[in-house]
Amino acid sequence: MPKFWTGEPPKRCGICKGLINGAFVDGATSSGVWAYMCRVCHHLYGVGLGTGKGQMYTQSGRVWVRSDELPTPSLSKWLVK
Ligand SMILES: [Zn+2]
């Protein structure tokens, strides 16, 4: 499994069209369509993280690190804003 996002990261969320800021999820939505999602949209429309559900990537300098295997407290930190 890749630990880093290779290629160009999405600039905007595929659902709300908001700018991706620091983290995004490449994952399934409740309608079954896959999309690049911001954290808020993933919280609202995503089906979770993991194989077949979605992968979260967090920006760390110039690289995007896969972060969906972080423990839950780290993820909830992202969602509280
Ligand atoms: Zn969004």
User: 1 C-alpha to center of ligand 1: Å?
Assistant: 25
Dihedral angle of Cα 20, 69, 45, 15, to the nearest 10 degrees: 20
- Residue 80 CA to ligand 1 centre (angstroms): 15
Per-residue pLDDT tens over the stretch 13-32: 999 999 999 999 999 999 99
State the distance from the centre of ligand 1 to the C-alpha of 42, rounded, in angstroms: 7
What tens digit of pLDDT does each residue of 36-58 get? 999 999 999 999 998 899 999 99
Ligand 1 center to 36 CA (angstroms): 8
Look up the pTM and report it. 0.80
